[in-house]
Amino acid sequence: MSTSHDAYLAQPSGNCCLTGTIHQGKPKGRFTIIAGIETYVSEPPAGKANGHVLLYFPDVWGMAINGLLIMDGFADAGFLVLGPDYFRGDPVTKHRKDRHDITTEPGFDFEAWKLKHTTFSDQAVPHWIKAVQEEYGKLQAKFACVGYCFGAPYVCKELAEGGSCVVGAFAHPAFLKESHFRNLTQPLFLSCSEIDHTFSTDSRNHAIGILKSESKKYHLQLFSGVEHGFALRGNPEDPYQRWVKEQSLQGIIGWLKFWLAQ
């Protein structure tokens, strides 16, 4: 239910999305092409599959190793995980002057970058989801979804009437309007940081007010002392930031498993 006053609650991605630490590890998944989009596929270990499919919608870092390792984490919990590279090899980090510096390269137009990729993704994601359903959907399989930053709106859309998923979650969201929360018909897990210039305290409280007043099924997980990007891009050498990232992941996994079992 969109209105003429459909205001942003989680703002479009900003400079805070350029910050973060590149993680270390060896991804275990593989890449394939689905609906014309390069897609990361991570399968659960032998004997651990729960029979369900998890759609993963990336943040603006796209197919950075951080996201691949998180997808592998969901796969280790039993999900068949698929994530589209809707940035088509053009993540925002490609335009930083230095991997450790949030300063962008000369002439980079962040607004134009966002418009280019939201326009493509909004058109491509529904076709990608349909193709995933056709290829990976089985008689007993249920679909869940998770999105980080840029990926949050696609989670909310798939949890609305006519969507593909029975449960979903997002962490440090961007690009969310009031209607994204009002239109929900399936359970949503919100993993948030107390400090977030994209999803401020006032905006988060407003969103929760909508969920409460309209009796939506939701759970809010809120961490102090970390900022936007905490669930993907925190510094793993900082014990607290590492703990927060893992708690976010485990909280989302627990939420998905509970509702998938209902």
The answer on pLDDT for 96 being more than 90 is no
Residue 196 appears among annotated catalytic residues: yes
Residue 95 appears among annotated catalytic residues: no
Q: Where are the domains of the chain?
A: 8-261
**Is-contact 177 8, C-beta < 8 A?**
yes
pLDDT for the residue 100: 58
Residue type present at position 134:
E
pLDDT for the residue 98: 66
On average, the pLDDT of the chain sits at 94
Question: pLDDT grade, residue 4 (50/70/90)?
Answer: very low
Catalytic residue among 145, 149, 165, 192: 149
Interval 204-249: pLDDT, tens: 999 999 999 999 999 999 999 999 999 999 999 999 999 999 999 9
What's the rounded mean pLDDT across residues 122-127? 98
Alpha helices (H) along the chain: 65-76, 110-136, 152-158, 178-182, 201-213, 230-233, 239-260
Catalytic residue among 23, 156, 180, 196: 196
Closest to 41 in 3D by CA, of 49, 26, 50, 53: 53
DSSP letter (8 states) at residue 230: H
Which string of b and e fits 73-92 if b means at least 16 CB within 10 Å?
bbbbbbbbbbbbbbbbeebb
**Is-contact 72 41, C-beta < 8 A?**
no
Interval 172-181: pLDDT, tens: 999 999 999 9
pLDDT for the residue 99: 59
73 Cβ neighbours under 8 A, 6+ residues apart:
249, 253
Interval 8-66: pLDDT, tens: 999 999 888 888 999 999 999 999 999 999 999 999 999 999 999 999 999 999 999 99
Residue 101 appears among annotated catalytic residues: no
Catalytic residue among 52, 117, 172, 228: 228
pLDDT, greater one: 140 or 98: 140
**Is-contact 188 160, C-beta < 8 A?**
no
Question: Which tokens sit at 259?
Answer: 């509702």
Q: Does domain 8-261 have CATH number 3.40.50.1820?
A: yes
